Structure 1
Amino acid sequence: MSVKVRGTEGALSLDAVDMKIDSVRINGRDSPFKFDNEEGRLRIPAVPRKESTVTITYTKQVADDVIVGLYKSRYGKDHMLVTDLEPAKARTVFPCKDEPLYKAVFKLTVTTDRGISVISNTLSRSEEVTKDGRMKFEFDPTPRMSTYLFFLGVGSFEERSIASGKTRLIIASRPGQSDRGKFILETSAAVLKGYEKYFRIAYPLKKLHLVALPEYHTGAMENWGAITSRESFVLLGQNSSAADQRTGASVMAHEIAHQWFGDLVTMKWWDDLWLNESFASFMDPMMIEKLHPEWDPWRDFLRFEAFRSLNADALSTTHPIQAKVKSVEEVEGIVDDITYGKGAAVLRMLESYVGKEAFRRGVSAYLRRFEYSNARGEDFWEALGKTSGLPVSRIARAWITKAGFPVVGVTTSKGKVTFSQSRFQLNGEETDGSWPIPLNLQVDGKSRTILLDGKSMSISARKPSEVVVNQRRTGFYSVLYDKGSYDRIARRFATLHSHDRAGIVNDLYLFLQAGKVGPELYFRFVSLAAGLADLLVTELVTDHLANLRAIADEAGIVRESYTEFYPAQIQRIGLFRKKGEDDSVSTVRETLAAQLVRTNTDYARKLARRFDGYQEVEPDLRAAVAVSYAVTRGKAAFDPLLRLVKDASNELERAKVYPALTSFEDPSLVENPLN
């Protein structure tokens, strides 16, 4: 490799590990060097002040037992060589300054055996046969980018492509699989076009690869121009369910958002990783809503991001969104629900506070100011403050630097509503703490936003008993109403918006765990939910009851609740898919049926009878059919289920059988075959 360097005369220190350095030359002349593999440092002591070309010859062996850096992604007896470099594995592939602050233009040339494909961040500008009969690929220079975004893939890739404006979207997969990428390819093309319109900034590369990896330790990675992903997120054939499609579309919308927020503009250091990930997690439902409004992607956002991160943030072990990161080894410790989900929920709260258009203009201004460079979270808040004229920096700083979240107490009296706040914790401890909270309210039939900027405040209201706090659940806080308010909410529960109903139920679930309310109040609202056709609340309560059943199944009130709730909801939507049914109903059935068959023998027997025709079972019910077969047939079901796993042609099909394999009480059944 060769690198152009410019700077003061003296030593050049590069990150490098797990390689053999053969030689170093500066401007064509041999240079001394010192390489310490344990320290991960290559030092070149005498680099001239002027711009110079440093050429490093090195050897890198690809180990069989790694799944990061440059590794073998296996399928059957074959494999492809691919890179996965975030946060700091580029140093295991080539000597470099392996920190996000250091950006460079990469010019790549790769020589391989003939018949092998090579993929990188940019298009191949030339391919020629060498004198010894091999193939040499030369790629276009990349934009200025950080090392962790570099990508190299070498293997027998099969490709399928589509145009999105001036950009070519390309699915790359192992042979015989690319046709299964049609849905994600078309969705990604629309997502790319949507982001260009939202950001008012064109995607800067000529192509975007979506590389489906058969063996991958994480979910997906936003390498600039070459997104990598598990096959199960990209290759969605006829055996994929509606939930699989929603998940795949969401993952791609997340990673494509990174092509601007993270790749075009990159954090200076890993303590701002949250801004990259939070923003992408916030943008993906926004974009999916434009493409598939019938999916109500904010439903999934509330369930999997906002509500899940509230639960994580209520623990004593939580951390601020902007966590202190002293070394790259600490980065993995902050890849969690707080960095992704809470950060995204706070961004949504700020968008609701400043307004959608002011938020969009702030995002665009931020990206234009720092394109091809690095920035801090403070730079983003400053941009939002300028476009909105509101104190965004002060509000945002409080939310990202403090651990935990507030519970807003609501008490009503004649002509008045009073709000108070304190930090909420699942251990029930009362602690001081206040945040500047944008309260999104419905008061006297109208929506309004006020800033609770202290411990308490009151507002006037003609009908205080009808106030709704945290309307549509745009804020990252829980709401504890007084007893009289809960009685009135229960009477009009069916008339509330689905997201408001879900927020009330989820808050009560948190309060139940913390001992702030008794079980009677929570299960009162679960019983109300059992009588409603509300997809989000159905999924949410199904999640809650599964957790409660795991820890308190013998409690009569828990057993009574799921015995009532699961059958009531499955009877409402039907156990089997109807012609013309909305995909959203199918995703709820998949969640609901998986729990129903674990608690209701009649339903389990009914679905177990369909196991003999498993391949003809609709994808939404396959997991439930497999579980039903396991719980009704016992030990005799294990070998047929294991055979399904071994015979499956892709990870998506295997994943639908895994829950059934965990249904056996004898752990030795699972341990030996899977090992």
Structure 2
Amino acid sequence: YSRTGEGMHRFTDPADGRTYVYTQLFLDDVQRVFAAFDQPDLKAVFELAVTAPEDWTVLANSVTEHTGDGVWKAAPTPPISTYLVAVAAGPWHSVRTEHRGLPFGIHCRRSLAPHLDADADELLDITRACFDRYHEKFEEPYPFDSYDQAFVPEFNAGAMENPGLVTFRDEFVYRSAVTDTERQTRARVVAHEMAHMWFGDLVTLTWWDDIWLNESFAEYMGYQILTEATRFTDTWTNFGVAGKAWGYDADQRPSTHPVAPGDVEDTASALLNFDGISYAKGASALRQLVAWLGEKDFLAGINIHFQRHKFANATLADFIDSLAAATDRDVHAWADAWLRTTG
């Protein structure tokens, strides 16, 4: 086990002594847990069996079943990349429901149970509203068999878009009074990670040079869906105040890079691109693209993209080709100007 949030992280709660483990296999950390070729364009069906203490619950990418003697079996997944395989196990406190015939759940460590319960209705309402709105926009239905959101301790990122088992830092289980902006931020992260179920999980980047495609798209959709489907109707104002400043700041540094960098040799190089350019500037560019194409043609292009590449992989060129199939505008020239240049 790790204590760094890389691979399989193990945590013992100082509040009650209970222990939890969860995976974070992002980029190339899958090899810390099991042997695998860890390129995102090598997808496989995963069928997991987990042996755990009797009082634990085991969550995974698909529906899990306790078969006795501490053994949990997860249903076979659709083809997914190794970096998206996920397990979270421990004596979780869970709030479960069903939506559109699928099991939905939110989970946290036992010591945070009262705080999760206090916000459970809000979290599940936002989850359902975003889920429904994505189904209005995307022709491909949600591609997995369940939707769990686990708020995990000592997480080294904000959240991770594991198919069917999104993990969040458990600071998002608020312990005290918070501002409405903080609630909006949490809701936006819920919407952002859900966008990845289609863009990132169903259709996955071929290599890490297109990490912006994952993140810029999810960032744009997270703000847009929240604005359309929830009470947080001024989310783009928050983006203008905070998000764009992050992008401008990163773009003025000597370390600036194109939204779509041309050459990413390895995962260490890819990690350097997780910044305000890949998230905020890329989302700004996509927002501009939607305004230029019109949302109808943009969504038509997105749906062509999902249809062409579902359960497979795609590049920036594939994405632009899909958009170009839905419009008379010169999307290739737009991409060269806005995605391939710095500043």
Q: Same fold (TM over 0.5)?
A: yes
Partner Cα distance (1:298, 1:387) in 2: 26
What is the distance in 1 between the residues matched to 2:210 and 2:62?
27
Question: Is 2:101 the counterpart of 1:166?
Answer: yes
Q: Report the counterpart of residue 663 of structure 1 in structure 2.
A: none
Equivalent residues of 1:72, 1:80 under 8 A apart: yes
Q: Give per-residue Cα distances to partners, 1:631-663, cap 9 Å, x unaligned.
A: xxxxxxxxxxxxxxxxxxxxxxxxxxxxxxxxx
- Aligned runs of 1:437-586 on 2, under 5 Å? none
The residue number in structure 1 matching 2:312 is 373
Q: Is the 8 A contact 1:266 1:374 kept in 2?
A: yes
Partner of 1:138: 73
Q: Secondary structure at the match of 1:401?
A: coil
CA distance in 2, matches of 1:66, 1:290: 37
Q: How is 1:139-288 mapped onto 2 (pairs within 5 angstroms)?
A: 139-176=74-111, 177=113, 178-182=116-120, 183-233=122-172, 235-236=173-174, 239-288=177-226
Q: Does residue 390 in structure 1 map to residue 325 in structure 2?
A: no
Q: In the alignment, residue 81 of structure 2 is paired with which amino acid?
A: S
Alignment identity in percent? 31
Distance in 1 of aligned mates of 2:211 and 2:340 = 14
1:306 to 227, 234, 244: 244
Letter in 1 for 2:78: P
Q: Deviations over 1:224-247 (max 9, x none)?
A: 1000001222x2466232122101
Q: CA deviation at 1:294?
A: 5.5
In the alignment, which residue of structure 2 is the partner of 1:528? none
Q: Could you tell me whether the CA contact under 8 Å between 1:73 and 1:216 is conserved in 2?
A: no
Report the Cα offset of residue 122 of structure 1: 0.3
- In structure 2, C-alpha distance between the alignment counterparts of 1:298 and 1:107, rounded to whole Å: 40
Taking the aligned partners of 2:48 and 2:184, their CA distance within structure 1 comes to 36
- In the alignment, residue 35 of structure 2 is paired with which amino acid? P
Matching residue's letter, 2:200: G
Read off the aligned partner of 1:265 and give its amino acid letter: V
2:29 pairs with 1:95: no
Q: CA deviation at 1:301?
A: 1.5
- Aligned counterpart, 2:259: 321
Secondary structure of the 1:334 match is coil
- Give the superposition deviation at 1:201: 1.7
Separation in structure 1 between the aligned mates of residue 41 and residue 305 of structure 2, nearest angstrom: 17
How many Å apart are 1:190 and its aligned residue?
1.1
Q: Are residue 106 (structure 1) and residue 46 (structure 2) matched? A: yes
Distance in 2 between residues matched to 1:173 and 1:292, nearest whole Å: 24
CA distance in 1, matches of 2:50, 2:196: 26
Q: Using the alignment, how far apart are the partners of 2:328 and 2:38 within structure 1?
A: 38
**Which residue type is aligned with residue 157 of structure 2?**
T
Opposite residue 261 of structure 1, the aligned amino acid is F
SS of the residue 1:202 aligns to:
coil
SS in 2 for 1:114: coil
Paired amino acid for 1:210: Q
Equivalent AA in structure 2 for residue 398 of structure 1: A
Partner of 1:337: 276
Residues in 2 aligned to 1:181 and 1:68: alpha-carbon distance in whole angstroms: 29
Summarize the Cα distance change of 1:353–1:293 in structure 2 as closer, same or farther, 3 Å threshold.
farther
**What do residues 566-591 of structure 1 show as CA deviations (whole Å, max 9, x unaligned)?**
xxxxxxxxxxxxxxxxxxxxxxxxxx
> Is the 8 Å Cα contact of residues 161 and 185 (structure 1) preserved in structure 2?
no
Unaligned segments of structure 2, at least 5 residues: none
The runs of 5 or more residues in structure 1 that have no matched partner are 1-61, 405-675
Please list the CA deviations of residues 393-440 of structure 1 after superposition, one character each: whole Å capped at 9, or x if unmatched: 121122111111xxxxxxxxxxxxxxxxxxxxxxxxxxxxxxxxxxxx
**What is aligned with 1:527?**
none
Corresponding residue SS for 1:227: strand
Sort the Cα spacing of 1:347 and 1:67 in 2 relative to 1 into closer, same or farther, 3 A: same
Name the amino acid aligned to 1:268.
Answer: T
Is contact 1:266–1:373 with CA below 8 Å preserved after alignment? yes
Deviation by residue 1:168-225 (Cα, 9 ceiling, x = unmatched): 2200111152314411122111111111111122112221110001211111000010
TM-score scaled by length of structure 1? 0.49
Measure, in 2, the Cα distance between the counterparts of 1:112 and 1:243.
39
Structure with bigger gyration radius: 1
Residue identity in the other structure for 1:309? G
Higher relative contact order (CA 8 A, sep 6+): 2
Q: Is the CA contact (8 Å cut-off) linking 1:180 and 1:237 kept in structure 2?
A: no
2:48 is equivalent to residue 119 of structure 1: no
1:251 CA drift (Å): 0.5
CA change 1:292–1:193 in 2 (3 A) is: closer
Aligned amino acid, residue 403 of structure 1 = T
Could you tell me how far apart the structure 2 residues matched to 1:282 and 1:336 are? Answer: 15
Task: Specify the code of the residue in structure 1 equivalent to 2:108.
Answer: S
Determine helix, strand or coil for the equivalent of 1:266: strand
Give the distance between the partners of 2:223 and 2:99, measured in 1 at CA.
20
The CA deviation at 1:70 is 0.6
**In the alignment, which residue of structure 2 is the partner of 1:659?**
none
Distance 2:257 2:19 in 1: 39
SS of residue in 2 equivalent to 1:119: strand
- Equivalent pair of 1:199/1:360 in contact (CA under 8 Å): yes
Cα separation, partners in 2 of 1:263 and 1:294, compared to 1, 3 Å = closer
Contact 1:162 1:189 in 2 (8 A): no
Which one-letter code corresponds to 2:43 in the other structure? K
Per-residue deviation at 1:163? 2.4
Sort the Cα spacing of 1:236 and 1:399 in 2 relative to 1 into closer, same or farther, 3 A. Answer: same
Cα offset for 1:293?
5.6
Count of equivalent residues = 336
Q: Distance in 2 between matches of 1:344 and 1:113?
A: 43
CA deviation vs aligned residue, 1:570-628 (integer Å, no higher than 9, x gap): xxxxxxxxxxxxxxxxxxxxxxxxxxxxxxxxxxxxxxxxxxxxxxxxxxxxxxxxxxx
Runs of 4+ in 1 over 3 A off after TM superposition: 292-295
When normalised by structure 2's length, the TM-score is: 0.94
Asked if the contact 2:184–2:232 (Cα under 8 Å) also holds between the matched residues in 1, the reply is: no
Q: Is the 8 A contact 1:166 1:206 kept in 2?
A: no
Tell me the SS of whatever aligns to 2:96. Answer: strand
